[in-house]
Amino acid sequence: MQTKIVSKNFEIPQSHTMDVALKNGRYASLDRLFTNKPQEVIDVISKSGLRGKGGGGAGAAGKWQLASDHDGIKYVVVNADESEPGTFKDRQILAHDPHLLIEGIIAACYAIGSNTSYIYIRGEYEEFSDILQSAIDEAYEKNILGINAQYLVDITIHRGAGAYICGEKSALLESLEGNRGHPRLKPHTPQPEFYFGEPTLVTNVETIASVPFIIENGADAYRAYGTDLSPGTLLFALSGNITNPGVYEAEFGVSMLEYIETMGGGVKNGKKLKAVIPGGASTPILPASMLKDARLDYESLKSLGSALGTGGMIVLDEDVSMVKALKNLLRFYHHESCGQCTPCREGTSWVDKTLDKFIAKTATQEDLEILKSVSGTMNGKTICVFAPAVSGVINGFLKHFENEFLECIV
Amino acid sequence: MSFSFNNDNNRKIDLIRKRYPEKKALILPLLWLAQKQESYIREDAMQFISEFTEMPYMHVYSVATFYTMFRLKKPEKRVIEVCRTLSCALNGSEEIKQHLDSKYSDKFEIVEVECMGACSGAPMCTLDGKYIENLTPNMIDEVLNAN
């Protein structure tokens, strides 16, 4: 069930060092890359159907084209701010194959006409940031990066400092400019992102790490994996009540339950599966009863009323209290709201505190109404998708497990 | 004595300042260096960064207070951060926190934090910023007594 494209070298000892990376095919795509014109690179990414792997799942090539078409000094910014609870895939690339990431960055820079790239990495990932930095240093020594390289690319690591919201691309750019990480208003027409006013491509670590395979083997080779609409693979992950938590790359479209059984060894301690949060905490929870035909691709999970997100599944067993689980997540969102928009700043605080009453079993029917009403107020009325995601999380729990909340009402 | 960066950090700053189109972008990297150097961010360090980046002091202060990893007070003890988010909570992070509180709170500052991206190693904590995963109370005793 495992298909290794991005994770091919993860288990090779010392895979993060240049010598081992070169022996195992890293930087092999560069020859092919430079025989293409930049536009041809964007075209092959477009044909491959590669979708952004940071959670949104939008077509990757569209962003590349927008940044390419816009005049100005261009930047490629890699989003390594991985902070979505249940998600720990990008760190595997940073720790085990940083040269794959560098190789992909060179391709992205070449394709859109940029010479400067930043990797924005979450502050907590200091250890991985150090590994990545030594890989970058090695690439400079080998003239793969820098002024003496075939194509000039400079890569700078920029450390975040503990703000979940900086994983949102416009907040990330604000942070990279030296500001508080407040998301920006979105344009009404398709536009690239802008770093200090210049056109910028912001993209997730795993998306960029998928590029060398496509350059080297062509779009059809990538399309041979996955489904028509969700081509390729993803570093899916399992955590929570699971026997073998971890990151296991698989093709899009595999059965979720089969993945949980085969890769994860099933629910821990032989317990029954109660529910799965399919793609990071911000995707609506799905009860086990709905998972029979669930497939790990964007379309299947969307049709079930949730989303594939980052592919980081949190598995919940029969003993888990859904009231406590929701409280845990709402405390997270309350802590992480950036505070810019009132519905989010006040709403996350309100629902978090309301949940306390359910935990204490002192809630009233009105509290349940408040929860629903605040959830409605948070949806679609803010600058970024943080608050709508919280709303989706609450609605998911209430839709599938309302009886557990009703039991807490006096 | 008013704040200044040491030689080592000045060399680092020389390298990174060429990498950004505007000085303002140096605020986060400089805050990190200042915190590494002094174990926290002193007020005069923010003053220094404000002059260096030609940004108002209030701007630097507002940035420093936005990000939870920046410390504006000198830490009294070594810091242990315990993840409390869902995957860790499902694997007993509460028990870990209680164990730490009951045995180690006079020697260490024990704080709860949100997801650190180590969910496959739940429950987990950090000691001086380093990840320690798949914790059990016994393991905590071993690690902390060796440290």
In terms of Cα–Cα distance, which of A146, A96, A142 is closest to A117? A146
Give me the percent of chain B exceeding a pLDDT of 70: 100
Query: Looking at the partner chain, which of B84, B85, B129 has a beta carbon nearest the beta carbon of A126?
Result: B129
Question: In angstroms, what separates the C-alpha of A216 from chain B's closest C-alpha?
Answer: 30
CATH number, domain with residue A140: 3.40.50.11540
A176 touches B: beta carbon within 8 Å: yes
Structurally, chain A folds into a number of domains equal to 3
Of the residues A290, A317, A344, which one is the last residue of a structural domain? A317
- Decide if pLDDT at A161 tops 80: yes
Asked whether residue B44 is assigned to any structural domain, the reply reads yes
Q: How many Å apart are CA A374 and CA A370, to the nearest integer?
A: 6
Query: CA B31 to CA B72: how far, in whole Å?
Result: 10
Q: What would the two tokens of residue A126 be?
A: 């200091």
Cis peptide bond N-terminal to A343, omega within 30: no
DSSP string over A154-208: EEEEEE--S-GGGGSHHHHHHHHTTS--PPPPPPSS---EEETTEEEEEEEHHHH
**What is the per-residue pLDDT for B146?**
84
Last residue of a domain, one of A294, A317, A340: A317
Quote the pLDDT of residue A209: 98
A287: closest CA of chain B, how far (Å)? 17
Whether B11 maps to a domain, the answer reads: yes
Whether residue B114 and residue A336 make contact (CB cut-off 8 A), yes or no, is yes
Mutate to test the interface with A, among B19, B49, B115 (most CBs of A within 10 A): B115
Structural domain containing residue B134? 78-146
Task: Give me the residues paired with residue A280 across strands.
Answer: A278
How open is the CA angle A238-A240-A244, to the nearest 5 degrees? 50
DSSP H or E run through A248: strand A246-251
Same domain, A109 and A212: yes
Residues in chain B: 147
Which contiguous run of DSSP H or E holds residue A37? none
Q: What is the average pLDDT across A20-44?
A: 98
CA distance B120 to chain A (A): 5
Choose one of B66, B93, B116: the last residue of a domain. B66
Q: What average pLDDT does chain A have? A: 97
| Residue found by looking up tokens 């995963």 in the block | B133
Lookup: tokens for A77: 């910014």
Please indicate, yes or no, whether residues A172 and A31 belong to a single structural domain of this protein. yes
Q: To 10 degrees, what angle do helices B7-17 and B27-38 make?
A: 170
- Calculate mean pLDDT across residues A41-63: 97
The predicted structure's pLDDT at residue A244 = 98
**CATH (domain of A271):** 3.10.20.600
Domain co-membership, B142 together with B89: yes
Instruction: Say what the pLDDT of residue B34 is.
Output: 98
Q: What is the pLDDT of residue A82?
A: 97
- Residue A21 pLDDT grade (very low, low, confident, very high; cuts 50, 70, 90): very high
Do A218 and A297 lie in a common domain? no
Q: What is the pLDDT of residues B34-75, one digit of tens each?
A: 999 999 999 999 999 999 999 999 999 999 999 999 999 999
Q: Is residue B54 part of a domain?
A: yes
* Domain co-membership, B59 together with B21: yes
Contact A161 B27 (CB under 8 A): no
Q: Which residue of A lies nearest to B129 if distances are taken between CA atoms? A: A124
Across A233-253, average pLDDT:
98
Run of H or E residues at B72: none
Which pLDDT value is given to residue A266? Answer: 98
Give the CA distances from residue A250 to residues A214, A232, A258, A281, in Å, rounded to whole numbers and listed in that order. Answer: 16, 9, 12, 20
Provide the residue range defining the domain that includes A338: 322-406
Q: Is 90 exceeded by the pLDDT of residue A226?
A: yes
Residue A215 has pLDDT above 90, yes or no: yes
Please tell me the predicted confidence (pLDDT) of residue A408: 97
Domain count of the fold of chain B: 2
Same domain for B57 and B84?
no
Q: Domain for residue B71, yes or no?
A: no
Question: What's the CATH code of the domain at A399?
Answer: 1.20.1440.230
Q: A133 burial class (0-12, 13-18, 19+ CB within 10 angstroms)?
A: middle
Instruction: Establish if A239 touches chain B: CB-CB under 8 angstroms.
Output: yes
Residue B72 counted as domain residue: no
Say what the pLDDT of residue B1 is.
74
Whole-angstrom Cα distance, residue A195 to residue B131? 32
**Mean per-residue pLDDT, A148-176:** 97
CATH number, domain of B47, equals 1.10.10.1590
Q: A128 — contact with chain B (CB < 8 Å)?
A: no
- Angle (deg, nearest 10), helices A342-359 and A322-336: 150
A393-396 contacts at long range (C-beta below 8 A, 24 or more positions apart): A393/A281, A393/A282, A393/A284, A393/A285, A393/A326, A393/A329, A393/A330, A393/A333, A394/A326, A394/A330, A394/A351, A395/A284, A396/A284, A396/A285, A396/A286, A396/A305, A396/A306
pLDDT for A64: 98
Q: Are residues B12 and B58 in the same domain?
A: yes
- Are A77 and A211 members of one domain? yes
Q: How far is A51 from chain B (nearest CA, A)?
A: 22
Residues A178, A219, single domain; the answer is yes
Same domain, A28 and A156: yes
Q: A361 lies in a domain?
A: yes
The position carrying tokens 């799905």 is: A286
Check whether residue B92 and residue B61 sit in a common domain.
no
Q: Measured on CA atoms in the order A339, A340, A346, A352, is the torsion positive or negative?
A: negative
Of B66, B95, B116, the position where a domain reaches its end is B66
B2 within some domain:
no
For residue A163, the chain B residues in CB contact (below 8 A) are 66-68
Examine residue A334 and state whether it is found in any structural domain, yes or no: yes
Among B65, B35, B73, CA closest to A339: B65
Residues B60 and B89 both lie in one domain? no
Tokens (6 digits) for A362: 């002192």
**Domain containing residue B135: CATH number:** 3.40.30.10
User: Could you tell me if residue A6 is inside a domain?
Assistant: no
Both B55 and B21 in one domain: the answer is yes
* Residue from B86, B88, B91, B111 to probe the interface with A (highest A Cβ count within 10 Å): B86
pLDDT confidence bin for A176, thresholds 50/70/90: very high
A180/B contact by beta carbon, under 8 A: yes
Identify all chain A residues contacting B117, using CB atoms and an 8 Å cutoff. Answer: 82-83, 87-88, 91, 122, 124-125
Query: How many Å lie between the alpha carbon of B126 and the closest alpha carbon of chain A?
Result: 9
Note the pLDDT of residue B147. 73
Q: What is the pLDDT of residue A319?
A: 98
Is the Cβ–Cβ distance between A112 and A64 less than 8 Å?
yes
Let me know whether A296 and A344 are in one domain. Answer: no
Mean pLDDT within A124-144: 98
**A306 and A246: one domain?**
yes
Q: Which of A261, A282, A317 represents a domain boundary (last residue)?
A: A317
Residue B119 maps to a domain:
yes
Query: Do B50 and B107 reside in the same domain of the chain?
Result: no
Question: Do residues B94 and B120 share a domain?
Answer: yes
CA–CA separation, A360 and A354 (whole Å): 10
A21: closest CA among A98, A84, A85? A98
Coil/strand/helix, residue B127? strand
Determine, yes or no, domain membership for A191.
yes
Considering the domain boundaries, does residue B96 fall inside one? Answer: yes
User: Are B86 and B137 part of one and the same domain?
Assistant: yes
Does residue A8 fall inside a structural domain?
no
Report if residue A175 sits inside a domain: yes
In a domain, A331, yes or no: yes
- Cβ atoms of B114 and B83 within 8 Å: the answer is yes
Does residue A1 lie in a domain region?
no
